């Protein structure tokens, strides 16, 4: 039996959708290659392919995303770039990091680190919730240092749509350590960034995942060799 | 029939809001004459330059604290304030083949 009202509405919606898609597609093709995120439905797709539990388990973005929680192998030049063990509980450094976070990071990450800063809310790829103890527990110090240093300027985060600045151009190594150790406290951790302090994390259960136990090098490329945090698997 | 109606009611708002996902990226160029921004936008495996028209109706804001310990608030800005290297998030609409900015938010001032 025909259902005139329902069929009519459905036809209208399909036709309208088709017209919108064609219009959007034409515009993007001719308009200096507008990005995919400006296309219909793209915002949902950002998160959809990057949730925990995906088949290929390839997350989106660690820094930029509660929705897109991506881990990627730390590149060789940052393998040794650990945050010094003593830094995690250094009150001076934590206070210094709090100031930097307020001045530089909170606009996107929020004062509380919840990812709800006013600018972050406007991004297609939302910042993560730094209060998430599990996520924080998964981030080894050199991984974190890499993310803060390079932001969204490097792959795979660049292609994923991260708008995070590369802070290495504006913050010294110590300032980056400071902001990391401060943000570490936002997840409720007051001790050092070690497995015993992160019982909720899976950090200790993966080969190659280990918290920072070694003193950091002064530069990302230097210092002692490390394990392969985040390098042994892809979430 | 009810399922058709439900489907249509779900689809219509989604389709109608098709153009509204923001474009985020680094400002590569500011053309004062043409009143356009070129933004290096990143998403889904691609990095592309998008030329965005700025109109008198375009709202442009940056963010600052009301006071040292105050909340971060939007502050009105002008097209002339925008600089290459800054990170922006731009809500746009399509006008013909043009990408027209409705709302420009300065995320980071380099």
- The closest CB to that of A43, out of B12, B21, B97, belongs to B21
What is the pLDDT, as a whole number, of residue A226? Answer: 32
Q: A22 pLDDT band (50/70/90 cuts)?
A: very low
Q: For residues B82 and B106, is the Cβ–Cβ distance under 8 A? A: yes
Of A220 and B57, the one with more pLDDT: B57
Q: CB within 8 A of A83, min separation 6: which ones?
A: A141, A142, A144, A145, A177, A180, A181, A193, A212, A216
What is the pLDDT, as a whole number, of residue B47? Answer: 84
Interchain CB distance below 8 Å, B22 and A12: no
Least confident of A189-193, B67-71, B92-96: A189-193
What is the pLDDT, as a whole number, of residue A24? Answer: 39
Q: What are phi and psi of B99, to 5 degrees?
A: -105, 115
> Mean pLDDT across the stretch A118-137?
91
For B70-86, the pLDDT digits (tens) are 999 999 999 999 999 99
CA B80, B83, B89, B95 dihedral sign is positive
Q: For residues A141 and A152, is the Cβ–Cβ distance under 8 A? A: no
Number of CB pairs < 8 Å for A and B?
A: 180
- The closest CB to that of A106, out of B51, B72, B91, belongs to B72
- The closest CB to that of B92, out of A38, A108, A170, belongs to A38
Percent of chain A at pLDDT exceeding 90: 37
Q: Which of A196-200, A225-229, A231-235, B7-11 has the highest mean pLDDT?
A: A196-200
Q: For residues A235 and A71, is the Cβ–Cβ distance under 8 A? A: yes
Residues of B in contact with A32 (CB under 8 A): 38, 48-51, 99
Answer yes or no: is pLDDT of A53 > 90: no
Residues of A in contact with B8 (CB under 8 A): 6, 9-10, 12-13
Answer yes or no: is pLDDT of A64 > 80: no
Q: Which of A4-8, B20-24, B65-69 has the highest mean pLDDT?
A: B65-69
Answer yes or no: is pLDDT of A16 > 80: no
Within 4-43 of B, beta carbons closer than 8 Å to A belong to 4-5, 7-9, 11-12, 14-19, 21-26, 38, 41-43
- Within its chain, how far is the Cα of A234 from the centroid? 14
For A166-211, the pLDDT digits (tens) are 999 999 999 999 999 999 999 988 888 876 666 665 554 332 334 4
| Six-digit token string for A6 | 């329902």
- 3-state secondary structure string across chain A: CCCHHHHHHHHHHHHHHHHHHHHHHHHHHHCCCCCHHHCCCHHHHHHHCCCCCCCCCCCCCCCCCCCCCCCCCCCHHHCCCCCCHHHHHCHHHHHHHHHHHHHHHHHHHCCCCCCCCCCHHHCCCCCCCCCCHHHHHHCCHHHHHHHHHHHHHCCCHHHHCCCCCCHHHCCCHHHHHHHHHHHHHCCCCCCCCCHHHCCCCCHHHCCCCCCCCCCCCCCCCCCCCCCCCCCCCCC
For A98-115, the pLDDT digits (tens) are 999 999 999 999 999 999
- CA-wise closest residue to B63 among B45, B83, B77, B49: B77
Least confident of A152-161, A164-173, A191-200, B54-63: A191-200
What is the pLDDT, as a whole number, of residue B93? Answer: 94
ipTM: 0.79
Interchain CB distance below 8 Å, A46 and B43: yes
Q: Which of A21-30, A190-199, B50-59 has the highest mean pLDDT?
A: B50-59
Nearest C-alpha of chain A: how many angstroms from B105?
7
For B5-50, the pLDDT digits (tens) are 555 555 544 444 445 578 999 999 999 999 999 999 977 778 889 9
């Amino acid at each position: 039996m025909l259902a005139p009202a329902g069929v009519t509405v459905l036809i209208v919606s399909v036709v309208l959708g088709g017209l919108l898609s064609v219009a959007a597609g034409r515009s993007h093709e001719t308009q200096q290659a507008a990005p995919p995120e400006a296309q219909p439905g793209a915002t949902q797709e950002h998160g959809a392919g990057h949730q925990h539990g995906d088949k290929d388990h390839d997350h989106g973005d660690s820094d930029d995303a509660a929705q897109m929680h991506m881990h990627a192998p730390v590149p060789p030049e940052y393998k040794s770039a650990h945050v010094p063990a003593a830094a995690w509980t250094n009150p001076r450094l934590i206070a210094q990091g709090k100031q930097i976070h307020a001045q530089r990071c909170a606009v996107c990450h929020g004062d509380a680190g919840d990812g709800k800063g006013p600018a972050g809310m406007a991004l297609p790829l939302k910042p993560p919730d730094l209060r998430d103890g599990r996520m924080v527990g998964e981030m080894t110090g050199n991984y974190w240092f890499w993310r803060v240093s390079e932001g969204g300027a490097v792959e795979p985060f660049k292609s994923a749509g991260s708008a995070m600045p590369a802070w290495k151009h504006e913050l010294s190594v110590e300032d980056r350590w400071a902001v990391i150790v401060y943000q570490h406290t936002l997840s409720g951790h007051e001790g050092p960034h070690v497995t015993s302090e992160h019982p909720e994390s899976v950090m200790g259960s993966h080969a190659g995942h280990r918290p920072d136990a070694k003193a950091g090098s002064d530069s990302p490329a230097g210092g002692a060799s490390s394990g392969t945090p985040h390098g042994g698997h892809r979430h | 029939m009810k399922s058709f109606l439900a489907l249509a009611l779900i689809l219509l708002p989604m389709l109608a809001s098709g153009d509204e996902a923001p474009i985020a990226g680094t400002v590569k160029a500011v053309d004062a004459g043409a009143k356009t921004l070129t933004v290096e936008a990143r998403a889904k495996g691609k990095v592309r330059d998008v030329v965005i028209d700025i109109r008198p109706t375009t709202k442009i804001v940056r963010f600052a604290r009301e006071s040292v310990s105050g909340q971060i608030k939007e502050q009105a800005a002008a097209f002339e304030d925008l600089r290459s290297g800054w990170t922006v998030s731009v809500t746009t609409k399509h006008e013909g083949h043009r990408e027209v900015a409705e709302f420009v938010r300065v995320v980071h001032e380099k």
